[in-house]
């Protein structure tokens, strides 16, 4: 990988980082310039706050089993050689990198950390701009960019498997669970979207951030989506992970949805699926924490399209483990793979017939202190590097002994809805 800025003796970029407080810039997703290449659009926004970025001051691409470790080692060297000046002491200010990593160590999608040349952030009423390059740059507030243009009509077609073939794969998974091969397995499927005009990721993140404001709207290296699941947040010694497992589709009728939420909270099938996911997260975080709080019962998280059983696991960090290393230790959780992990991964490999790429892998950011936020890349799609009018969308469902294949297919369709709607012109 070649750095885009001047590099020191070890090949690590010598970055000059300047963060300046600015007046509230408004909608962060509207600030990204129109001439930014699609893969250089960077976003991590929730309920209006967060960070967006563009450009590439430095980057690294990694692969295989060492994709997290190699990225983390590189980041530590970048931090050591950087010169930072900041008027803002908040997570996301100063030197930051956006990242995304493949679900599987065997995927050619690998992983990447990208240091933007410009970052704009807002948190708790405080806004800032950070300029990063090989020289001191003025940190003036960016202006609102030209409105993105929609991609026109979108047409959707089967990916690796048709709906009927995928339900058959789910039925195979259920038989394997009943035979004792695994306790739970998460089955993903893909759908191909073809549009009339090139897909502008600024269009997608703007629409996702508006409709799904309480999710984390992300864009990193052409991977775009709105995830409701926080894999791990590290902030000033506190570690948090939001676990989602167990889903029911909303109807749009508030009274009926309230009743459905109650049935979800009592569903033995969904509670079993959720318990596996919570246990896997708690077991992975425990070695890094001096104390932990793991609620006994989940709550129901309401999203515009679905409702999930959710649990927030919180711990006090006992060592200097960066948010990226914590994300590595948590991945893959039972929420995206299954349990036992190795057996579930093997079943996924034999039944899904697709490479997930960076879908269901960690996506997010980290700063120079090691703090950061890493979600699971769900409700997302990957832009096609060779065809700007094509995008590959993904959805997945947790399968346990009580799963019904047709119901799981319907659930996957509801999870594809955010990206389908975002593509609609």
DSSP three-state, residue 75: helix
**Two tokens at 135?**
């020289």
Angle formed by the axes of helices 163-178 and 341-351, to 10°? 150
**Two tokens at 40?**
């250089």
The runs of H, that is alpha helices, within 239-299 are 254-266, 268-285
Cβ atoms within 10 Å of 178's Cβ, excluding its own = 9
Closest CA to 85 of 140, 132, 123, 119: 132
Closest CA to 423 of 226, 141, 143, 182: 226
Decide if 275 is catalytic.
Answer: no
DSSP-assigned beta bridge partners for residue 111? 62, 101
Decide if 184 is catalytic.
Answer: yes
DSSP-assigned beta bridge partners for residue 397? 187
Q: Which of 59, 184, 352, 411 is catalytic?
A: 184
Cα torsion 344, 348, 351, 352 to 10°: value is 160
Q: Which of 61, 105, 137, 229 is catalytic?
A: 229
Closest CA to 348 of 392, 402, 340, 278: 340
Active-site residue set: 184, 229
């Amino acid at each position: 990988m070649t750095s885009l800025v001047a590099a020191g003796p070890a090949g690590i970029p010598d970055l000059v980082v300047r963060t300046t407080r600015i007046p509230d810039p408004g909608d962060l997703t509207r600030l990204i310039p129109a001439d930014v290449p699609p893969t250089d659009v960077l976003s991590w926004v929730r309920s209006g706050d967060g960070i967006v970025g563009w450009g590439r001051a430095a980057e690294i691409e990694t692969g295989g089993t060492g994709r997290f470790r190699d990225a983390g080692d590189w980041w530590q060297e970048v931090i050591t050689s950087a010169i930072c000046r900041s008027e803002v002491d908040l997570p996301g200010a100063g030197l930051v990198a956006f990242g995304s990593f493949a679900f599987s160590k065997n995927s050619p999608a690998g992983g990447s950390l990208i240091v933007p040349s410009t970052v704009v952030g807002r948190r708790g009423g405080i806004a800032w701009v950070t300029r990063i390059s090989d020289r001191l740059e003025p940190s003036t507030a960016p202006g609102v960019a030209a409105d993105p243009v929609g991609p026109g009509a979108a047409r959707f077609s089967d990916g690796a498997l048709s709906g009927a073939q995928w339900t058959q794969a789910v039925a195979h998974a259920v038989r394997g669970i009943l035979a004792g091969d695994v306790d739970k397995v998460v089955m993903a499927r893909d759908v191909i979207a073809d549009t009339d005009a090139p897909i502008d990721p600024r269009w997608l993140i703007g629409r996702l951030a508006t409709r799904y404001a309480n999710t984390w709207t992300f864009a990193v290296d052409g991977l775009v989506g709105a995830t409701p699941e926080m894999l791990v947040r590290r902030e000033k010694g506190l570690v948090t992970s939001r676990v989602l497992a167990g889903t029911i589709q909303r109807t749009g009728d508030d009274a009926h949805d309230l009743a459905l939420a109650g049935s979800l909270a009592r569903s033995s099938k969904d509670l079993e699926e959720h318990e596996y996911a919570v246990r896997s997260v708690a077991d992975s975080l425990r070695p890094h924490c001096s104390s932990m709080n793991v609620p006994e019962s989940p709550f129901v998280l309401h999203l515009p399209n679905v409702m999930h059983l959710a649990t927030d696991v919180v711990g006090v960090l006992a060592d200097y483990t960066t948010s990226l290393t914590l994300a590595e230790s948590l991945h893959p959780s039972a929420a995206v793979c299954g349990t036992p992990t190795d057996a579930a991964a093997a079943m996924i490999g034999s039944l899904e017939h697709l490479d997930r790429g960076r879908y269901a892998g960690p996506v997010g950011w980290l700063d120079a202190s090691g703090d950061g936020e890493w979600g699971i890349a769900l409700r997302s799609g990957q832009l096609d590097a060779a065809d700007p009018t094509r995008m590959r969308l993904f959805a997945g469902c947790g399968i346990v002994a009580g799963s019904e294949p047709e119901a799981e297919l319907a659930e996957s369709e509801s999870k594809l809805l955010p990206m389908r709607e975002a593509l609609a012109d």
